[in-house]
């Protein structure tokens, strides 16, 4: 008899990206040349100034023991200084900021800190799968907030029934948005803060792409709204900004009681981020103004233009992402997104992600990650142009 697996896992869909990865490996095992626009993982190396900080720290015995629970003072104050420079925010690095083993880790643990079994969590649809999965693992009930093109991919707050809002413990948001590439304005965040106050819920805004603005102006932080810190926390990631996805470091900032509750969950589960990695993270934030970051943006801008032009010529309706490194394309008429993703893989060796994998409101779109160099993007477009729809 196989071991009995807990009920809560059965309530989870299989993790989307693992499924895509399996299909990609199968195609490659069959000898096909695959161009992978699937998982959004930066293809460029971590900048040298960050590697240098890491190699220095690695040899320092002071970095080799258990790290402090909520992050080293050095990392936290460098991050707080970054928030001041970039957003004009004065954060208390002790109480309003916590280091995470990547943003995903913090997002996944947050419902354990805030949500009682059976409580509602407002979750965008389409979305990064973690918000929903973390809600289910904590015994909460996700309430989808559809994001639609005709509302700039923002949730319609007035469409959330007041009794649902009142019973909700938490609302997840993610701007700049994965998968749609949309950006939210400070004015939208003001409405969110007002909504959260009115219904007594916490807002968790995932700002993993805040520094990857392409056609948009630099996006605001939700914490720039006066009073936001009474109701909100924001998650920031080093993975996309500094090409550090494998290093596993991120942070949450905002409401001190929420940060403290998250710290309590984490202190019972993990023992923090390797101190040498926090030294690297500190160097990253201290080096935020360096040209490497703007170079990364220009690279994604160029890729976005080439891919969007090519997709348009092939019958997809698409506009370049305002921010993030994704292209979110409406599929040709008469097809659904899963059919399109399958045809691209089977007939052109192109991996993209069907929008419905991010939630039912993502149906009819496919997502391309711009983590492929421009020559390969051109090859993909050539292959795509041979398909007829």
Ligand X SMILES: *Cc1c(COP(=O)(O)O)cnc(C)c1O
Which residues bind to ligand X, rule: CB under 6 A?
40, 102-104, 128, 174, 178, 206, 208, 237, 239-240, 245, 250
Cβ of residue 239: shortest distance to ligand X, in angstroms?
Answer: 3
Task: For ligand X, give the closer residue by CB, 199 or 300.
Answer: 300
Cβ of residue 33: shortest distance to ligand X, in angstroms?
Answer: 26
Tokens coding 358:
């991010």
Answer positive or negative: Cα dihedral of 320, 326, 330, 332.
positive
Cβ of residue 61: shortest distance to ligand X, in angstroms?
Answer: 28
Task: For ligand X, give the closer residue by CB, 183 or 384.
Answer: 183
Please name which of 54, 109, 71 lies closest in space to residue 271, comparing C-alpha atoms.
71
| Strand, helix or coil for residue 116 | coil
Task: For ligand X, give the closer residue by CB, 178 or 255.
Answer: 178
Cβ of residue 2: shortest distance to ligand X, in angstroms?
Answer: 31
Task: For ligand X, give the closer residue by CB, 104 or 275.
Answer: 104
Cβ of residue 216: shortest distance to ligand X, in angstroms?
Answer: 16
Task: For ligand X, give the closer residue by CB, 128 or 153.
Answer: 128
Cβ of residue 384: shortest distance to ligand X, in angstroms?
Answer: 24
For residues 15 and 17, what is the distance between their CA atoms, to the nearest angstrom? Answer: 6
CB atoms within 10 A of CB 302: 15
**Cis? peptide before 126, omega within 30° of 0:** yes
For residues 262 and 268, what is the distance between their CA atoms, to the nearest angstrom? Answer: 10
For residues 84 and 155, what is the distance between their CA atoms, to the nearest angstrom? Answer: 29
Task: For ligand X, give the closer residue by CB, 250 or 354.
Answer: 250
Across 143-182, b (16+ Cβ under 10 Å) vs e yields bbbbbeeeeebbbebeebeeeebebbbbbbbbbbbbbbbb
Task: For ligand X, give the closer residue by CB, 128 or 300.
Answer: 128
Cβ of residue 249: shortest distance to ligand X, in angstroms?
Answer: 7
- Residue 132 makes CB contacts below 8 A (sequence gap 6+) with 123, 142, 359
Sheet containing strand 326-330, strands side by side: 317-318, 326-330, 365-369, 353-354
Residue closest to ligand X (Cβ)? 102
């Amino acid at each position: 008899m196989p071991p009995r697996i807990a009920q809560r896992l059965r309530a989870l869909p299989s993790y989307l990206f693992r499924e895509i990865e399996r299909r990609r490996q199968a195609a490659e095992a069959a000898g096909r040349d695959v161009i992978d626009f699937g998982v959004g993982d930066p293809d460029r190396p971590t900048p040298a100034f960050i590697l240098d900080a890491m190699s220095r720290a690695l040899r320092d015995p002071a970095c080799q023991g258990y790290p402090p629970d909520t992050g080293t003072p050095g990392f936290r104050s460098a991050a707080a200084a970054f928030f001041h420079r970039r957003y004009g925010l004065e954060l208390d690095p002790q109480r309003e900021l916590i280091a995470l083993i990547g943003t995903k880790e913090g997002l996944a643990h947050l419902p354990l800190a805030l949500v009682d079994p059976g409580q509602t969590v407002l979750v965008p649809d389409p979305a990064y799968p973690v918000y929903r999965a973390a809600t289910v693992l904590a015994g909460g009930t996700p309430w989808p907030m559809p994001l639609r093109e005709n509302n700039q991919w923002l949730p319609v707050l007035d469409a959330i029934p007041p009794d649902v809002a009142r019973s909700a413990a938490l609302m997840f948001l993610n701007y700049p948005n994965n998968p749609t590439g949309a950006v939210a304005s400070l004015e939208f965040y003001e409405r969110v803060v007002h909504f959260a106050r009115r219904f007594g819920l916490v807002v968790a805004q995932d700002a993993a792409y805040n520094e990857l603005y392409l056609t948009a102006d630099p996006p605001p932080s939700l914490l720039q709204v006066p009073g936001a810190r009474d109701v909100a926390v924001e998650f920031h990631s080093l993975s996309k900004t500094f090409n550090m996805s494998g290093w596993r470091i991120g942070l949450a900032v905002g409401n001190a009681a929420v940060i403290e509750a998250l710290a309590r969950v984490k202190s019972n589960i993990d023992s923090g981020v390797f101190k040498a990695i926090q030294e690297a993270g500190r160097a990253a934030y201290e080096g935020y103004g360096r040209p490497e970051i703007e170079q990364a943006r220009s690279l994604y801008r160029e890729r976005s233009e080439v891919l969007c032009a090519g997709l348009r010529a092939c019958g997809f309706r698409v506009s370049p992402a305002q921010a993030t490194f994704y292209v979110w394309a409406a599929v040709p008429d008469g097809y659904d997104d899963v059919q399109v993703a399958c045809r691209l893989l089977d007939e052109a060796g192109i991996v993209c992600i069907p929008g419905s994998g991010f939630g039912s409101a993502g149906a009819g779109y496919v997502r391309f990650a711009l983590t492929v160099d421009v020559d390969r993007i051109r090859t993909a477009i050539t292959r795509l142009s041979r398909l007829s729809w």
